[in-house]
Amino acid sequence: MPDSAVRRVDTALGPVLAHRDGDLWRARGIPYAVAERFQRPSPVSPWRKPFDASAPAPVSPQHADGLMGSVSPDYLERLGTDEQCQRVSVTWPSGTGDAPLPVVVWIHGGSYLTGGGDLDGFDPALLVREQRVIVVSVTYRLGLLGWLGDGDFAPANLGLMDMIEALRWVRTCIEGFGGDTSKVTVMGQSAGGDAIAALMAVPEARGLFRRAIVQSAPLGIGDRRGAMQRTMLRTVRPVDPTMSLDQVLDANEEIYRATRKHGLKGLMPYGPQWGRYPLPPESKRADATALAHDVDLLLGHMSDEGVLVGAALPPLGKAFRAPVVGGAVQHAVAGSLQAAVYEKAAAHFVEEHRAAGGNAIHYVLGWKATGSPIADGHGMDIPVLLGDPDAWVEADGLKHESPDRIRRVGVAVRQAWGDFVRDGRISRESADAASEWLTLS
């Protein structure tokens, strides 16, 4: 590889060798923390020998994610799986000049069970190129390995602690990549957005980010989860700390089956546990979150989230697919499901943030993918923000859409998000350009 395709980046922890990708630079798979199984993460020790950041981050052990797998069917084989998955990947534009750039820290979704920072569907190239920002993609522990602990066999909230260590890495190292530590935005979708909402209540996370973009977080099913947590623990107890990864994955599946009886909450059984470090008790959540009033907030959801919510519940999913009457059932039920899981809780979170003195924007996104069976359902924000439009049309819900239209909608949505990342607001010009698909309040 010619010298011009490699660049040394000096960070506070040690030198990193980044690699050119066209008009972008990428430094992939950089460790930000270390942790043994069921142990809290610790910051990585500094290194002297340059770290070759050419390989993407491995993912936490998992079965393949359906949506991401439709874009990149071989992602598990290509990226590899590793319990030591605490890695970040940095993407930034070439020719950045002397002025530091805003930083976006991407927290992927996947029900706290699947995904990874370096999946093709989460490629930040278009956002970086168009908006002149630096994106740090975070990979963290998932499923039983990151979110089931009860303080007995493992601490709770290990995945959340991983994220905090990643944000500390950003604060310590991102200046070496040309990033502005005063303009750090955490951005996450689904479980990633849910985690960010939790991070806003974590004292140790205070000051690690200036802005937050919370996309399609199922905040309406995030509270009063004690009974379901007990079901999860009963399902897999006693937990053998030395179990094989196959046994870990089998346990994840058993937990999902067992938690279906808990209704909507069972859609995402894993998640932050309130009242266990580093989170305050659930009764103190609102007060703790109010202390993050200095964080600018952009929060919202897709316009038809209830379609996939209903489809994921076995009785309703069967009814949705029924000939003749299926569409009527879906129309009658999807709205109430969306309100319960997304709308009401999102509106309340925004209201509470404003009441505490914070700046908050509420959005609803609906771009009506052509011929899509899930329309503007859960996950349809990702194709117009991240990934390659030419690859996204391979996804089941986008087979009738054109890459050009995904790209056209995406340019407008990314511009609005870029405005927020830079200034904590969305300009009138950007709002007007995206008004066909994006409603702001």
- 8 Å CB contact between 215 and 381: yes
- Assigned token pair, 314: 């076995």
**Cα separations in angstroms, 54 against 47, 51, 135, 176:** 17, 9, 16, 17
Look up residue 437 and give its amino acid: W
262 is annotated as an active-site residue:
no
Q: Which of 437, 440, 385 is nearest to 414 (CA)?
A: 385
Which residue from 339, 338, 320 is spatially nearest to 329, judged by alpha carbons?
320
Instruction: Supply φ then ψ for residue 291, to 5 degrees.
Output: -70, -15
Longest dimension (CA), the chain: 66
Are 212 and 295 a contacting pair, CB within 8 Å?
yes
Nearest one of 296, 383, 353, 379 to 121, comparing CA atoms: 383
Tokens of 404: 């050009």
190 catalytically annotated: yes
Radius of gyration of the chain (CA): 21
**Catalytic, out of 60, 190, 216, 303:** 190
Residue with tokens 């000051």, as numbered in its chain = 207
Q: Which of 60, 70, 108, 305 is catalytic?
A: 305
Active-site pick, 111, 165, 378, 430: 378
Contact 105, 183 (CB under 8 A): no
Residues annotated as part of the active site: 190, 305, 378
